[in-house]
Amino acid sequence: MTGGLGFIGSNYLNIFVPKNLGVRYVNIDCLTKVGSVSNIKVSSCLNYAWEKVDVRNYKKLQKLFVKYRPSGLIHFAAETHVDVSIQNPQLFIDTNVTGTHNLLVLSLKYGLRRFLQVSTDEVYGALESGPGRFSERSPLAPNNPYSASKAAAEMLARSYYKTYRLPVVITRASNTYGPNQDKTKLLPLFITNLLKGIKVPLYGKGLQRREWLYVDDHARAIDLVYRHGKSGEVYNIGGSTELTNLALTKKLLSLTDRNTSFIKYVPDRLGHDFRYALNCSKIKRELGWKPRILFKNGLKTTHEFYLRGADAGRA
């Protein structure tokens, strides 16, 4: 798998490495600033290995395929920050598109029996207000360089299934939250700012709506799709809670004993999508998945994780 020192990948490894001692997990991660070795709690497990390799480097990737002869691959690694993609779109093309293609070429060459492309609900573009939700049959209409690069990676993966019959599956998930997330992302940024008594920057009027998915639920869904998903198919993975960014911010203010004076309204992001929401009936029907973690419980756990980090920093 790739990107295992990052947010979702590390949580996936921490759950499944000790559960599947008969499976060897090779974590390919070049350790960018959004990842950390400390995210991994299973480094002492005999069925875990980390290789510091960039997915953009085809030759080094090929050496790993020769060394380990993997049977399958879960591709987490990606540049994901929308604001950064607006400033530096080339980085997202190089990592998310070229890096994905390198892995597809090698997966085909070495006969992998499964390739899971981890994607995002942002490839669908934006919904307006109302009850509508994106299904797996909704057209892709990405609105920023990040989501466009993820859509392109998906299309490459799909083409390798259609053309070469590489056993590809794709997941598209809603906003994921929980421990180990990079502190530039909304939830950890806002929590850590508020713990320090710093105002939080809220885009526009904070009316954009997002659906929130706890990282453990996301990891379980990915494992199910990897093991039991139908090749060539896409599976939506959505949380059960939809909130405006302002409503979410107010929940964080309450958790950290702050008031609305700690909100700093800033100019809206370029091309800011209004709403994302997913229809997840397919993964529920075919694989029996549904989110288990209530939002209030997941948010409390996430807050406590960053609170422990803040306390450790003060110590």
- Cα 254 from Cα 235, distance rounded (Å): 35
Residue 198 contacts residue 191 (beta carbons within 8 Å): no
Catalytic residue among 12, 48, 124, 146: 146
- Cα 217 from Cα 5, distance rounded (Å): 18
Residue 228, CA distances (Å) to 65, 186, 233, 300 in order: 23, 32, 11, 32
Angle between helices 99-109 and 145-164 (to 10 degrees): 20
Residue carrying structure tokens 């920057």: 201
- Cα 55 from Cα 101, distance rounded (Å): 9
306 is catalytic: no
Catalytic residue among 54, 121, 154, 273: 121
121 is catalytic: yes
Q: List Cβ neighbours of 108 (8 Å cut-off, separation of 6 or more).
A: 160, 164, 166
Residue carrying structure tokens 């299904």: 135
Catalytic residue among 54, 79, 122, 154: 122
214 is catalytic: no
- Cα 142 from Cα 148, distance rounded (Å): 5
- 3-class SS letters over 296-311: HHHHHHHHHHHHHHHH
Q: Which residues are catalytic?
A: 121-122, 146
